[in-house]
Amino acid sequence: MRACLASFVSLVLFAWTRPLWAAPMDPAIERLIDPSTAGCRTDSGAIALPSDGSDYIPCKPDHAAFRRLVAQYAFALAPTAMGAQDVAVQLFVSDTGAVFPQNCQLAVSFSGAIGNDVDNLCGGDYTHEDYNAGPMPPTLGAGPFAEQGQAADIVPDKYYVGTNLVVRTGDTTLQMWMRHDALVPLYEAWAFSDLDLDVGGGLGIVMYDSGGLKLEVNTCTSGNPITFASERAAYPDDHAWHFVRVVQKGDTVTGCIDGKKQLTFPAAAGTLASMYRPRFGRNVIWTPSGAFWDGGLDDIRVYNGALPCE
């Protein structure tokens, strides 16, 4: 299992539980950030945090002290004892102490559903729909990490539609966990799209078979005639969870899979704006008609600003 953990201790990103800048950083977090000065040790593949200079807090989900630390600062670790490798923990702190969700436009974790809807922490809820029957309760299943709860389990003809537009007047970051199960023959599988084919703009993440499984990131550059800017990269065909981040910084769009840059293409600042609400599992309203994603999606987020792609 390869784990690239995009869980952030951040004033900008994950500060809805406690404004980190309002108080000194917890000593346990300081020890985690700089274990060389805190005597942290590794024991059987699990990171241990010294709680008072003499005891150790085992880094396990069933340990009450560790659960409190995770709940307070919203980070996660994957132990090597469970098979994790290439683990990355990213830490970001803003200069101005911006309050969540001020810099967040979309944050859907699929932790639960109320009727046909799943919660968006940064705006209007997302509604689960059947292409033929309309809104209906979603199916949720296991996500990339059991400790983080459920994920969207999507089959063909099912998708989610948002309430709000994504505003892209400057740099933005789109990221999600993806699990590809299968391709529907002859069709592309759209994980995310708010492409605007009327006047151009929007952003799409799509999978298809072209000499092997490919992940493509694209945007519409003109509505008449319809043209696109895009780039694609090989995607692991292992039916496992992978972390995908797409960043527009200045005039460049960059895509990363599991924390490694895989694609890049030019797109002028401001040209990714769209007048269509995002869909998960469908390419907005465009042809071919239908929804053809078969797999899982989790923790879909859009932030203002460009996070590092790798």
HEC profile of 174-233? EEEEEEECCCCCCCCEEEEECCCCCCCEEEEEEEEECCCEEEEEEEEEEECCEEEEEEEE
Calculate mean pLDDT across residues 178-206: 97
End-to-end Cα, the chain, rounded Å: 19
Kindly report the CATH number assigned to the domain that includes residue 199: 2.60.120.200
What does the mean pLDDT of the chain come to? 78
Q: What is the DSSP letter of 65?
A: H
- 18 with 66, same domain? yes
- 86 with 27, same domain? yes
For residue 150, being part of any structural domain is answered with yes
Domain end point (choices 27, 56, 91): 91
* Residue 310 confidence (pLDDT): 77
* Residue 70 confidence (pLDDT): 45
Q: Identify the burial level of 104 via C-beta atoms within 10 angstroms of its C-beta, where 0-12 means exposed, 13-18 middle and 19 or more buried.
A: buried
* Residue 54 confidence (pLDDT): 39
Higher per-residue pLDDT: 50 or 261: 261
For residue 98, being part of any structural domain is answered with no
* Residue 103 confidence (pLDDT): 85
Range of the domain at 136: 104-304
Highest mean predicted confidence (pLDDT) among 4-8, 30-34, 64-68, 160-164: 160-164
Q: Identify the weakest region by mean pLDDT among 4-13, 191-200, 205-214, 236-245.
A: 4-13
- 25 with 173, same domain? no
Highest mean predicted confidence (pLDDT) among 51-65, 78-92, 256-270: 256-270
Q: Kindly tell me if the per-residue pLDDT of 153 is higher than 80.
A: yes
Number of domains forming the structure of the chain: 2
- 20 with 127, same domain? no
Contact by Cβ (8 Å): 7, 75: yes
- 73 with 171, same domain? no
> Model-level pTM greater than 0.75?
no
Q: What is the pLDDT of residues 217-241, one digit of tens each?
A: 999 999 999 999 999 999 999 999 9
Q: Identify the weakest region by mean pLDDT among 20-24, 38-42, 207-211, 295-299.
A: 20-24
**Using CA atoms, how far apart are residues 282 and 304, in angstroms rounded to an integer?**
23
For residue 286, being part of any structural domain is answered with yes
- 133 with 69, same domain? no
- 78 with 152, same domain? no
Calculate mean pLDDT across residues 27-38: 40
For residue 70, being part of any structural domain is answered with yes
Percent of the chain with pLDDT over 70: 67
Calculate mean pLDDT across residues 242-260: 96
For residue 162, being part of any structural domain is answered with yes
- 182 with 79, same domain? no
For residue 257, being part of any structural domain is answered with yes
- 204 with 120, same domain? yes
Please calculate the CA angle 105-106-112 and round it to the nearest 5 degrees.
150
Q: Kindly tell me if the per-residue pLDDT of 95 is higher than 60.
A: no
pLDDT-based confidence at 32, cuts 50/70/90?
A: very low
Domain end point (choices 91, 112, 128): 91
Domain end point (choices 40, 67, 91): 91
